[in-house]
Structure 1
Amino acid sequence: MKNKILIILALVLLSACNDSTKFSTTNQPTLTDYQVGEKWVWKYKGVTTEGEVRSDGTDTREIVSFDGALGMTIGKDTIPVSEIVKPEASETPKYDWPLEVGKKWKYENSWTSQDGTTGNQSQNAEVLSYQEQTVEAGTFMAYTIKYTGKTTNSRGYSANETEVWLYAPAVKNFIKLTQNQGDFHYVEELIEYSK
């Protein structure tokens, strides 16, 4: 009987030690983590509660050689990867590195759109879990990060919002985003990743 109890206790302890959801931390990717030819493709769709489709398409990003260094294509632009991996100086960053389950922080962002509209976003963020997540591109270990708050703009728009980001360290990016903002629901999912 004593041996059975010891074996059960040992199995419980081993399973707890193998539970990566409790002990994993992830640092921000660095320049050396990227390579030429690395590619991400997401599909996205945004629909209002009335069924009006406001966005529907794909977004592709790729690592290329750019002026003798690495660059990431984003739409028609190419951004040096050294800028992408530069630590964010903000007190309220999108990702508060290192990521770990249970971590909480405040995210704030201000922007100006091409038509001159200004806006602000203020959210509370929390890392809820680190576990396997499956998207069209495959199955990855990913952090589930939930953001809740408000978005406003200079045209009088104001909406409560909830965003859930699945960030996968293996692809150095998010693999899924689900956003509810007022009467608008948006989903973006990784459908292809290659090196």
Structure 2
Amino acid sequence: MSQSTGESETELILASASARRAALLAQIGVTPARIVAADLDETPRDDESPRQLAARLARAKAAAVAADFPQAFVLAADTVVVAGRRILGKPTDGEAARLTLARLSGRRHRVFGAVALRAPDGRWGERLVESRVAFARLDAAEIAAYIESGEWQGCAGGYAIQGRAGGFVRFLSGSYSNVVGLPLFETRQLLRGLGGRRFG
């Protein structure tokens, strides 16, 4: 990553590789000047809770990118899906996705979303959001069809609620956009709090 010589203090950088997060920001009228992914080890630490994991990773992503863009606002987020006490990461292949969806079938799970914003003056803002989701009971054919769709790829918990998996959800409490990948209300509050009305 290299810093632009023409970079201004009002520039916003999204520290994420997720196209979903950029699309969500566009919903509230915010377009990052650039999108820069942070390369981090996202392995949970021993005895680290899902809340702590999400918050740590969001801040670490923002800090990593902010080191190269000190005069910009840097926004980062992380999403952690938990069923019972088990953290459900991004499945690495179809079989892992099948096992993840089988675990979610007919059960409630939690989605923790953390957002971190680093301002050019060094101030930080952070928010943590919890949503609760319940899936209907899925049969083997439904799971196989979803895996075939490929929508599970790159998704924490092995599903994208904004796609076909929306039809699996029988209950949702809390922020829908958090489950997609970025809690919009909290993100907007952070942007307005640290960046002023330039971010709407």
TM-score interval w.r.t. the shorter chain? 0.3 to 0.5
TM-score by length of 2: 0.32
Structure with greater proportional helix content: 2
**Rg: which structure is higher?**
1
Looking at secondary structure, tell me which structure has more strand per residue: 1
